[in-house]
């Protein structure tokens, strides 16, 4: 559910992130890049007048119902419950009216033409993907500047010719179908790819013979797939997917009817669990991992020796901690936070897996270990240290280590390698450093070289990145990155955009954010506080911002805003915030708790009704992070901050743009619908509250570049309008 970038950390699989700001593929996921810039605007330029109100007749009035629930003895009003019904004619008519209002509000803004022209120039760029190597072949998704969607390719070796495997662009006239790399057979003969409609999490899985460029007749139906892993002998595949009863693992034999696939694991696990099935590289072991929701706090691991035809046996079952494993030969490498909140790696002899034989190969350290990748007979360990990335190579027994040099202070993403290959691939980016994919050999250490790069035009030397520390409400010191163009003055007048996440142990390290560069180029300040709830400083930092401690995240965020104001970066009339997914909850809480602190809010694909979120779509996965209002204790803390329930009639709220769409099958779009209706009816500020609702958009930020150009033109036009940044 979180929409943050993926590293090799196993929580990326749990969150099933197919979302923004990431360029590349891990063995579990394929992710896409969205890159854009804006022309510079001198901060010395005079600020002209700008409209501040929506056109007359907007927004449309929404019916108010007297719906009240008795929840553990508390009467809770829900006046817009009817908007939960996404398919009703009344809801659809209301959505159409909201979209019309948003178009009327944004389409004629004077900033729009220049923004759209520049975004069109800069979003249509070469965008690299991290390769998945199998038997010397490299498989990746690449989007060149002439394409509207990413295309699946393979390359023979590091420098061979690229061969196109799947081009999704001809599949639908509106380019609403995208392709995702799911897996590749061990010998590189078969590639498994998913086709996604309109940004939905569900995909249909297809199999292509790489030598003949022909698809097999086997097609796995549309579903949420947690893993797809082919058998070593190319006779079939294991896959794990969500079902109405809960996650299940199946075995499919090529040529057979998928509807008759044999269930091999999962009976008894409910919809609040996630199951991942994967094979060791040599195909000798089947590993099944069970996660108790999307947090990395409780998991089980089972192993089966396929060569010796043994039964599936538990490796981890009765330990309440997070574990994720990968095997090389008979050795299982376990990444875990068991008695190690910063993370460590243990080894298990799968022929003698009793716990008293386990031992550390990478012990816990002061830095947070995000995860490990098996590569060239060694371990590539990704750390977050002071909220930025470090990548180290350890011998398989942990006896020696070396650090891979990185280009700058920034983020490593999508680490990929094989036990049997010398190649290690990883992505790197930072605030002013566009994403590049690096390759390095492991056997003969050498500085990494650029394997593929994006074509984003940017002069990195024109920008400043600083890290500051501020005190939160409870006096805890929290770091924050501040990004801006050289030459701005700290006179309290700069337009400033702040974003955050603060949940699910997602570390917000410095990364190339397209809108942030655009913002800085026109004289704005961009800030990212490392809120509690993330994992920048380990599980203790995460736990300090989850469940009953969730309010701490919101306090950190508003304290960061107060720092920016007190240190003369900006003032409340020129401060905007934005967040997506769990970050949408963050800004929703901020705007209801401290509305006077912000001038504008963009709230994307959010959770906002925290008393009912667990009843819809992927909500059950997130109860370990938030709690569930079905439980009396959790109801108290959820009700205390649930944004939808803290909108007050007659209060002056900031300008707000909600973004969601029908294709969000992860976070139910009903949250944005209900909150928009309630805030529109309640606010007394006279500032616009708009809903941008795309019937083809989903939670993942994938799909047509043309569609993205339109969405981000709206995004930036809204901010420029509300913070009085004139047209260039």
Of the listed ranges 232-241, 334-343, 612-621, 660-669, the least confidently predicted one is 660-669
Contact at 8 Å (CB) between 666 and 199?
A: no
The pairing of beta strand 655-663 with beta strand 689-698: parallel
Last residue of a domain, one of 453, 471, 490: 453
Confidence of residue 54 (pLDDT cuts 50, 70, 90): low
The catalytic residue among 206, 368, 671, 699 is: 699
Give the confidence band of 456 by pLDDT, cuts at 50, 70, 90.
confident
Residue 402 domain-assigned (yes or no): yes
CATH of the domain at 335: 2.130.10.120
Judge contact between 445 and 439, C-beta under 8 A: no
Instruction: Please indicate, yes or no, whether residues 93 and 197 belong to a single structural domain of this protein.
Output: no
Q: Is the pLDDT assigned to residue 231 strictly greater than 80?
A: yes
Question: Do both 30 and 141 map to the same domain?
Answer: yes
Higher-pLDDT residue of 559 and 144 is: 559
Check residue 696 and give its pLDDT: 64
Average pLDDT, stretch 154-178?
93
β-bridge mates for residue 657, sequence order: 602, 690
What residue numbers bound the domain in which 594 lies? 68-121+549-722
Q: Give the CATH number for residue 584.
A: 3.40.50.1820
Residue 665's pLDDT is 85
278 and 196 part of one domain: yes
pLDDT at 457 over 90: no
Q: Which of 124-128, 505-509, 594-598 has the lowest mean pLDDT?
A: 124-128
* Arithmetic mean of pLDDT, 93-115: 92
- Give per-residue pLDDT as tens, 298-357: 999 999 999 999 999 999 999 999 999 999 999 999 999 999 999 999 999 999 999 999
What pLDDT sits at residue 14?
42
**699: annotated active-site residue:** yes
The residue out of 453, 483, 511 marking a domain boundary is 453
Residue 26: its pLDDT value, please? 32
284 and 388 part of one domain: yes
Distance CA 630, CA 614 (A): 9
581 is catalytic: yes
User: Average pLDDT over the chain, rounded to whole?
Assistant: 89
When pLDDT is averaged across residues 362-390 and rounded to a whole number, the result is: 96
Instruction: Give the per-residue pLDDT at 7.
Output: 37
Structure-block tokens of residue 285: 């072991």
**In the predicted model, what is the mean pLDDT of residues 289-298?**
92
pTM: 0.90
Is residue 114's pLDDT more than 50? yes
DSSP 134: E
On the question of pLDDT at 13 being above 50, the answer is no
Claim to verify: residue 24 and residue 78 sit in the same structural domain: no
Q: Is residue 63 part of a domain?
A: no
**Domains held by the chain: number:** 2
Do 68 and 76 touch, CB atoms closer than 8 A? yes
Q: Are residues 205 and 139 in the same domain?
A: yes
What is the per-residue pLDDT for 118?
A: 79
User: How far apart (Å, rounded) are the C-alpha atoms in residues 229 and 196?
Assistant: 19
If asked whether residues 679 and 700 sit together in one domain, one would say yes
- Of 186 and 9, the one with more pLDDT: 186
For residue 590, how many C-alpha atoms fall within 13 Å in the half-sphere facing its CB?
A: 37
Task: Please count the other Cβ atoms lying within 10 Å of the Cβ belonging to residue 57.
Answer: 11
43 has a pLDDT exceeding 50: no
Same domain, 116 and 130: no
Is the pLDDT at 21 greater than 60, yes or no? no
In terms of C-beta density within 10 A (0-12 exposed, 13-18 middle, 19 or more buried), how is residue 616 classed? Answer: middle
Look at residue 700 in the predicted model and tell me its pLDDT. 55
Examine residue 496 and state whether it is found in any structural domain, yes or no: no
Q: Please, are residues 633 and 64 in contact by the beta-carbon 8 Å criterion?
A: no
From 127, 183, 507, 581, active-site residue: 581
Share of the chain above pLDDT 70, in %: 91
Residues 88 and 217 in one domain: no
């Amino acid at each position: 559910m979180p929409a943050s970038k993926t590293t090799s950390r196993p929580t990326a699989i749990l969150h099933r992130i197919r979302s923004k700001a990431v360029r590349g593929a891990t063995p579990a996921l394929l992710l896409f890049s969205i890159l854009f810039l804006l022309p510079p605007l001198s901060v010395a330029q005079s600020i002209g007048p700008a409209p501040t109100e929506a056109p007359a007749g907007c927004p449309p009035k929404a019916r108010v119902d007297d719906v009240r629930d008795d929840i553990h003895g508390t009467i809770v009003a829900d006046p817009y419950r009817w908007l939960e019904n996404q398919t009703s004619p009344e809801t659809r008519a209301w959505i159409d009216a909201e979209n019309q209002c948003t178009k009327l509000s944004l389409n004629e803004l004077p900033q729009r033409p220049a923004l759209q022209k520049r975004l069109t120039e800069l979003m249509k760029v070469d965008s690299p993907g991290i390769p998945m190597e199998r038997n010397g072949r490299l498989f990746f998704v690449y989007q060149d500047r002439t394409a509207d969607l990413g295309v699946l390719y393979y390359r023979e070796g590091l420098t061979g010719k690229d061969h196109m495997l799947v081009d999704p662009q001809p599949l639908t006239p509106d380019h609403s179908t995208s392709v995702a790399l799911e897996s590749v057979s061990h010998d590189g003969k078969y590639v498994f790819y998913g086709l996604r409609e309109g940004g939905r999490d569900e995909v249909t899985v297809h199999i292509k013979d790489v030598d003949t460029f022909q698809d097999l007749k086997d097609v796995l139906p549309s579903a949420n797939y947690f893993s797809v892993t082919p058998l070593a002998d190319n006779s079939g595949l294991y896959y794990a997917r969500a079902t109405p009863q809960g996650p299940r693992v199946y075995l499919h034999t090529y040529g057979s009817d998928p509807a008759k696939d044999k269930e091999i694991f999962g009976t008894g696990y409910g919809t609040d669990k996630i199951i991942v099935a994967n094979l060791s590289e040599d195909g000798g072991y089947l590993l099944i991992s069970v996660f108790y929701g999307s947090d990395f706090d409780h998991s089980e691991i089972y192993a089966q020796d396929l060569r010796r035809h043994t039964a599936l046996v538990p490796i981890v079952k009765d330990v309440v901690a997070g574990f994720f494993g990968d095997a090389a030969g008979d050795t299982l490498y376990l990444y875990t936070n068991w008695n190690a909140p910063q993370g460590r790696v243990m080894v298990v002899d799968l022929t003698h897996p009793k716990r008293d034989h386990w031992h550390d190969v990478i012990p816990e350290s002061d830095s947070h270990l995000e995860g490990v990748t098996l590569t060239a007979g060694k371990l590539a360990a990704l750390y977050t240290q002071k909220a930025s990335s470090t990548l180290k190579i350890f011998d398989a027994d942990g006896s020696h280590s070396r650090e891979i040099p990185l280009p700058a202070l920034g983020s490593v993403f999508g680490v990929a390698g094989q036990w049997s290959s010398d190649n290690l691939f990883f992505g790197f980016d930072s605030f002013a450093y566009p994403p590049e994919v690096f390759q390095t050999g492991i056997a003969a250490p050498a500085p990494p070289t650029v394997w593929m790069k994006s074509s984003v035009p940017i002069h990195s030397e024109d920008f400043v990145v600083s890290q500051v520390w501020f005190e939160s409400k409870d006096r805890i010191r929290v770091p924050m990155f501040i990004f801006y163009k050289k030459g701005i003055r700290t006179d309290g007048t700069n337009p400033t955009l702040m974003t955050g996440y603060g949940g699910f142990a997602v570390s917000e390290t410095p990364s190339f954010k397209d809108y942030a560069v655009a913002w800085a180029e026109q004289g704005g300040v961009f800030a990212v506080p490392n809120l509690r709830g993330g994992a920048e400083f380990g599980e203790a930092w995460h736990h300090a911002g989850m469940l009953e401690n969730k309010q701490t995240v919101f306090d950190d965020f508003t304290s960061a805003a107060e720092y920016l104001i007190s240190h003369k970066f900006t003032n409340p009339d020129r401060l905007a915030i934005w967040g997506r997914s769990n970050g949408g909850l963050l800004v929703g809480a901020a705007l209801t708790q401290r509305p006077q602190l912000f001038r504008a809010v963009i709230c994307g694909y959010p959770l906002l009704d925290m008393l009912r979120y667990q009843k819809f779509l992927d909500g059950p996965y997130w109860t370990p992070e938030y709690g569930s209002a079905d439980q009396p204790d959790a109801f108290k803390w959820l009700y205390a901050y649930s944004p939808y329930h803290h909108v007050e009639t007659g209060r002056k709220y900031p300008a707000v743009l909600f973004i969601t769409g029908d294709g969000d099958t992860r976070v139910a779009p009903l949250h944005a619908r209900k909150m928009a209706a309630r805030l529109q009816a309640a606010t007394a500020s006279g500032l616009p509250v708009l809903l941008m609702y795309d019937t083809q958009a989903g939670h993942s930020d994938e799909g047509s570049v043309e569609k993205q150009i339109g969405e981000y033109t709206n995004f930036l036009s809204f901010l420029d309008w509300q913070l009085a940044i004139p047209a260039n």
